[in-house]
Amino acid sequence: MLREELNPYELGLGRNPANYVSLSPLSFIRRTAQVYPNYLSVVDGDRRYTWAETYARCRRLASALKQAGVSRGDTVAIMAPNVTAMMEAHFGVPMIGAVLNTLNVRLDAETLAFMLSHGEAKVLITDREFSPVITNALGLLAHKPLIIDIDDPQYEGGELLGETDYEAFIGTGDPEFSWELPADEWQAITLSYTSGTTGNPKGVVYHHRGAYLNAVGNVLAWNMQAHPVYLWTLPMFHCNGWCFPWTIAAVAGTHVCLRRVEAKAIFGAIRDHGVTHFSGAPIVLNAMINAPEDVKVRVTDRVIQCTTGGAAPPAAVIEGLESMGMNVTQVYGLTEVYGPSISCAWNREWDNLTTAERARIKAQQGVRYHMQEDLMVADVDTLQPCPKDGKTIGEVFIRGNLVMKGYLKNSTATEEAFAGGWFHTGDLGVLHPNGYLQIKDRSKDIVISGGENISTIEVEDVLYRHPAVLEAAVVARPDEKWGETPCAFVTLRPGVITTETALISFCREHMAHFKAPKAVVFGPLPKTSTGKVQKFLLREYAKDLNK
Amino acid sequence: MLREELNPYELGLGRNPANYVSLSPLSFIRRTAQVYPNYLSVVDGDRRYTWAETYARCRRLASALKQAGVSRGDTVAIMAPNVTAMMEAHFGVPMIGAVLNTLNVRLDAETLAFMLSHGEAKVLITDREFSPVITNALGLLAHKPLIIDIDDPQYEGGELLGETDYEAFIGTGDPEFSWELPADEWQAITLSYTSGTTGNPKGVVYHHRGAYLNAVGNVLAWNMQAHPVYLWTLPMFHCNGWCFPWTIAAVAGTHVCLRRVEAKAIFGAIRDHGVTHFSGAPIVLNAMINAPEDVKVRVTDRVIQCTTGGAAPPAAVIEGLESMGMNVTQVYGLTEVYGPSISCAWNREWDNLTTAERARIKAQQGVRYHMQEDLMVADVDTLQPCPKDGKTIGEVFIRGNLVMKGYLKNSTATEEAFAGGWFHTGDLGVLHPNGYLQIKDRSKDIVISGGENISTIEVEDVLYRHPAVLEAAVVARPDEKWGETPCAFVTLRPGVITTETALISFCREHMAHFKAPKAVVFGPLPKTSTGKVQKFLLREYAKDLNK
């Protein structure tokens, strides 16, 4: 082998403007606006836009922001439901090299104030619906950002807080604004704060390269054809809607916006707009399954693809969706890995299994996206991979191009997250012999009883199979003899009753006895703003049960 | 704006092994072998492989090459038709950082000797079918590479030239060989010599990043779903089969190999193996259209997607293919841009046009791939863009990530090709108002008559519409009065006759009179080894007509 610098394949064959440009999802909207200018880009209430119009509006936004003094590396925050402006911000903001910070609309004023301050937002685009909490948040800030109101006719109430509204603001911008790709594809494109059950939220930074790759990764992982109709049941503020604002631009699809995610609106959109794809938390799928029959829509001219994350879809949900013409796939991810970058890729060898068997496979989180590089389950400390036996629980590690730049202004957390050359998810799981991942727990959620690990998710899965159970959460409860034992918190279906003894017996029939909960508490479950059960509160409660 | 190095979005948020890996198409085969191990990867005569097997064979090849002393930056050449070994070389060779040089099997010994010598091939993998020409080529070399024979039972005859054959060679390799992605995604992956009508061939170098992006670019541009069945009617030696060896790995499809590209074998594969996609030169499509009726296969359970390049598909070909259940799309590219990176993306607004109108659109080369950045038609010297009026002819320029690293050991040619920050295609075309490209000519092929540019392709298109014409080529003929006039060379369909006068009249009926050929010569057309008409020979001939 020649010394590298003398190798003829390297000599004089470097990058130049003809053969290298930064990877950025902004490339896609430019192409789609040119090739499919008259295709429908957005359905939002009564409003309709084409890709030519959407592109012009995004350029107007970029131009107006520039005129307002925003430039490369500045933060533009947005507090909005899944509406037109929210989608457009995913293009208009990075067109001038600025960074889009989507805020979780369910947060309290203090947390929002922390984010606006930590992220140093220069501009805040905010929807009237959230004016009360935003007013309080702004009251806590030393330096106020420029406020731009989203004045959406679909929402009544809420004050206008700024000097200008979004439509007037972009009206001042140039629809032919000449924007440029970032000079460096590693440049930041978005900032997303993780909810974090303890401590301050951490600001996850994505770059143009990763957003580009995941935009395309969604197409491959979801086997998506051109011109999909994507229904926004997933909050766009959550991991930038799993990068779907950019995916839909890449494949010239249609965004169907939803201000409020409820069964009637979902089925209405499916019926009226030819929806082909949507993503939703388990709670969304449950709402659809449990919707009144006259609201439900059964689709026969296509199979609607649905991805879900957060908890495995139970057999009843899979079957319920299938009976309405929908196919559900579980995905797994975290804000740090651009949303789902693991998905339960289907294999035709499983087509003829029973629903129960298929549900067991669909309960697995699956395999890496095409554009994520590696996934392993390994020892938390040594990073020694666990055997792929479907049993040995280890921490889930991910590495590849769909992993964040790091946490903003938090080098300690960034270094910890990337220690050993892998991103530490903090989740515990097993790899099955075919390499498919199954999440067993958050590392801090596992129950260690008599020295044995008990996956709380496994116990919850059994509880969910009981017909009376609507929701279930299991946590560790301190125990003098065993160290810890599983304690279950259960919400029953309306109008159904059962007992603690009955549920514990049910669990003992369906799993190893030591894994069955020793106590069951009935009532509603406390949840975070993103709908996650707050297990730390349940743990406190379980501890108090001993008193 | 903060100074870049002080911007919090850059501070401490650099690349590390957890969040950055080189883009390389090798990622795809590893994933597909894991996720779809039992899916069919290759159909080659009587042989069948699964993706688990193919991946093991590629790792064996990499391992065996390493044992043979091949390492990073070394060249491995291959002279083979579209067989298993040819596809596997696209993975096994770059797995050790070596560079694959696919040789055009139609070339003469001297040209091959030039390539082997210029590319410094350390290994030559060669199929028995080409032993005579390879023997002669090797005789011209001072340093002989290690020879590995492909001993394919589908071919009879031809000597074995080396000490080992491909199957025995990879048999010495480790099926679990631990290979690595390149440290730098800009590292060379393949070397392809352009045929070049004059001077020495130029060695086009691709890198891992571009191969990765075009592998995925094909999926998007072709709107390809998972698990396609790809028929190899396109030579794999040509621009690495337009990157389809890697595309098919990415989407876990099946390669259907074809040693000999002829209508009967094509239709047989379509019938027997569920082919969903193929690419072919116009000559392949012609052979299919003109095949005997009992050989033709009409597909009704799917629409087979076919891409073609080199010359616009005439309406009769489009209609003929459609009647057999196939949809044809024209693409445009050159070796320098990874094969086709421009394609005539269809728009549903054109669905209801007549066949003639659709053919007129399908005769356009179209728009950039999703993953190519830019396309322009501009003044050859000033690079000033031409108006998008469908009329103003300029040179076609391309820039983006699907442009080669450059020409191997030829910095002059590399710099010329990239002058001004764009790749100079040397082709002439127009942009229509919707930005769709239509190629009008090679810059050296244009006819300038009385100061007016005449596109020889435009004249050829008219000639092709005449029912008696099988093939047509038009070149400039020196003329005392006009400077140049168009001179046509025509091959008639078997058993059909017409006259020079009839064809000239036909042309004058269908285009401006000054564009019609002044002379028509009947006979077979001289072609290069890649099937391109050798217009420089026709120009010589046309010149002699004056004597």
Alpha carbon B305 to chain centroid, angstroms: 16
Inter-chain contact B370–A12, Cβ cutoff 8 Å?
A: no
CA-CA distance, A331 to A504, in Å (whole number)?
30
CA-CA distance, A327 to A329, in Å (whole number)?
7
Q: Cα separations (Å) of B311 from A265, B327, B368? A: 50, 16, 18
Instruction: Return the bridge partners of B407, or none.
Output: B204
CA-CA distance, B283 to A164, in Å (whole number)?
62
Inter-chain contact A18–B345, Cβ cutoff 8 Å?
A: no
Residues 6+ apart with CB under 8 A from B544: none
DSSP SS3 for A490: strand
From B136, B61, B120, B123, select the one nearest B96 (Cα to Cα). B61
Residues 6+ apart with CB under 8 A from A400: A341, A368, A371, A372, A373, A374, B19, B21
Higher confidence at residue A108 or residue B123? B123
Which residue in chain B has the smallest CA separation from A184?
B10
The per-residue pLDDT for A2 is: 46
Inter-chain contact A19–B401, Cβ cutoff 8 Å?
A: yes
User: Which residue of A20, A72, A220 is in closest CB contact with B401?
Assistant: A20
From B262, B271, B342, B275, select the one nearest B308 (Cα to Cα). B342
From B386, B394, B381, B475, select the one nearest B428 (Cα to Cα). B394
Instruction: Give helix then strand counts, H and E, for chain B.
Output: 17, 26
In angstroms, what separates the C-alpha of B43 from chain A's closest C-alpha? 19
Q: What angle do CA A499, A502, A504 make, to 5 degrees?
A: 110
The per-residue pLDDT for A482 is: 82
Torsion of CA A130, A132, A133, A137, to 10 degrees: 120
CA-CA distance, A546 to A149, in Å (whole number)?
51
What single-letter amino acid sits at B261?
V
Please give the helix or strand (H or E) that residue B511 lies within, else none: none
User: Which residue of B4, B34, B71 is in closest CB contact with A1?
Assistant: B71
Inter-chain contact B19–A406, Cβ cutoff 8 Å?
A: yes
| ipTM of the complex model | 0.89
The per-residue pLDDT for B4 is: 54
The per-residue pLDDT for A160 is: 97
Which residue in chain B has the smallest CA separation from A96?
B1
DSSP SS3 for A28: helix
Contact A458, A517 (CB under 8 A): no
Other Cβ atoms within 10 Å of B400 Cβ, number: 24
Q: Provide the angle, in degrees to the nearest 10, between the axes of the packed helices B208-221 and A208-221.
A: 50
Residues 6+ apart with CB under 8 A from B428: B393, B394, B395, B396, B439, B440, B441, B442, B443, B446, B455
Alpha carbon A160 to chain centroid, angstroms: 29
DSSP notation for B83-123: SHHHHHHHHHTGGGT-EEEEPPTT--HHHHHHHHHHTTEEE
φ, ψ of residue A152 in degrees (nearest 5): -85, 120
Residues from chain B that touch A2, judged by Cβ atoms under 8 A, are 73
User: Which residue of A12, A347, A411 is in closest CB contact with B406?
Assistant: A12
From A82, A67, A200, A243, select the one nearest A150 (Cα to Cα). A82
Sign of CA dihedral B512, B517, B523, B528: negative
pTM of the model as a whole:
0.90
- Per-residue pLDDT tens digits of chain B, which is 547 residues long: 445 557 999 989 999 999 999 999 999 999 999 999 999 999 999 999 999 999 999 999 999 999 999 999 999 999 999 999 999 999 999 999 999 999 999 888 999 999 999 999 999 999 999 999 999 999 999 999 999 999 999 999 999 999 899 999 999 999 999 999 999 999 999 999 986 555 688 999 999 999 999 999 999 999 999 999 999 999 999 999 999 999 999 999 999 999 999 999 999 999 999 999 999 888 789 889 989 999 999 999 999 999 998 777 878 888 899 999 999 999 999 999 999 999 999 999 999 999 889 989 998 999 999 999 999 999 988 999 999 999 999 999 999 999 999 999 999 999 999 999 999 999 999 999 999 999 987 777 888 887 777 888 888 888 988 989 998 999 999 888 888 899 999 999 988 889 999 999 999 998 888 889 999 999 899 987 767 788 888 988 898 887 7
Inter-chain contact A18–B399, Cβ cutoff 8 Å?
A: yes
CA-CA distance, A236 to A83, in Å (whole number)?
9
For residues A52-81, average pLDDT: 98
Inter-chain contact B220–A251, Cβ cutoff 8 Å?
A: yes
pLDDT tens digits for A83-105? 999 999 999 999 999 999 999 99
Residues from chain B that touch A226, judged by Cβ atoms under 8 A, are 220, 223
Portion of chain A with pLDDT greater than 70, in percent: 98
User: Which residue of B27, B74, B223 is in closest CB contact with A226?
Assistant: B223
Q: Which residue has the tokens 């072709």?
A: B222
CA-CA distance, A181 to A96, in Å (whole number)?
9
Which residue in chain A has the smallest CA separation from B96?
A1
Inter-chain contact B411–A12, Cβ cutoff 8 Å?
A: yes
For residues A197-225, average pLDDT: 92
Structure tokens at A18: 């003809």
DSSP notation for A440-484: EEETTT-EEETTEEE-HHHHHHHHHHSTTEEEEEEEEEEETTTEE
Residues 6+ apart with CB under 8 A from B206: B188, B189, B190, B191, B192, B240, B338, B404, B405
User: Which residue of A8, A367, A398 is in closest CB contact with B34?
Assistant: A367
DSSP SS3 for B49: strand
In angstroms, what separates the C-alpha of B27 from chain A's closest C-alpha? 7
Q: Alpha helix (H) ranges present in A328-410?
A: 355-362
Which residue in chain B has the smallest CA separation from A402?
B19
pLDDT tens digits for A338-350? 999 999 999 999 9
Higher confidence at residue A7 or residue A337? A337
Structure tokens at A189: 């494109």
Inter-chain contact A31–B368, Cβ cutoff 8 Å?
A: yes
Inter-chain contact B18–A423, Cβ cutoff 8 Å?
A: yes
Contact A296, A266 (CB under 8 A): no
Residues from chain B that touch A192, judged by Cβ atoms under 8 A, are none
Inter-chain contact B18–A349, Cβ cutoff 8 Å?
A: no
pLDDT tens digits for A453-493? 788 888 888 898 898 998 899 999 988 888 889 999 999 98
In angstroms, what separates the C-alpha of B394 from chain A's closest C-alpha? 18
CA-CA distance, A487 to A171, in Å (whole number)?
57
Other Cβ atoms within 10 Å of A490 Cβ, number: 24
**How high is the mean pLDDT of chain A?**
93
User: Which residue of B16, B373, B403 is in closest CB contact with A27?
Assistant: B373
Residues 6+ apart with CB under 8 A from A85: A78, A125, A127, A150, A166
For residues A400-417, average pLDDT: 96
Please give the helix or strand (H or E) that residue A276 lies within, else none: none
In angstroms, what separates the C-alpha of A280 from chain B's closest C-alpha? 23
Inter-chain contact B9–A399, Cβ cutoff 8 Å?
A: no
Pairing of strands B229-231, B277-279: parallel
Q: Which of A19, A305, A374, A414 to mutate to test the interface with B (most CBs of B within 10 A)?
A: A19
User: Which residue of A19, A27, A403 is in closest CB contact with B404?
Assistant: A19
Q: Cα separations (Å) of B448 from B444, B461, B506, B515? A: 11, 18, 21, 10
Other Cβ atoms within 10 Å of B259 Cβ, number: 18
